[in-house]
Amino acid sequence: MDLRVGRHAVLGEMEGGKLVTIYVDGVPLKAREGEPIAAALYAHGIRTTRYSPRLGEPRGPFCMIGRCTECAMTVDGEPNVRTCMTAVRDGMRVDTPGRPGE
């Protein structure tokens, strides 16, 4: 199921970027180029973006405007990238930090 907004009440028809592949924890997923990484994950039903360092609890996108840092993931090896603010590029590697047991 695709949860993306096709037609927006105010902005009209939403033209999605071209379909590209990103690798989330090694699993290839289709994403629209230019959309926020968090949006691509959300569209695939992925709600957990990281595990909190102290309690090890799953966390997901919260503020969606780049302030709360709950959506920070490791992107192409770079830690603490706010995925709600970072656009999808083809071949991106996105990893979930702090997974229990690692």
What's the min distance (Å) between Cβ of 72 and other proteins? 7
* Contact string (CB under 8 A) for other proteins, positions 26-65, x = contact: --------------------------xxxx-x-x--xx--
Residue 73 Cα distances to 2, 14, 16, 59, 84, angstroms = 22, 27, 23, 11, 10
* Contact string (CB under 8 A) for other proteins, positions 63-82, x = contact: x--xxxxx-x-------x-x
Q: What does the chain come to in residues?
A: 102
Residue 93 CB-density burial (10 A; 0-12 exposed, 13-18 middle, 19+ buried): middle
The binding site for other proteins (CB under 8 A) comprises: 9-10, 52-55, 57, 59, 62-63, 66-70, 72, 80, 82
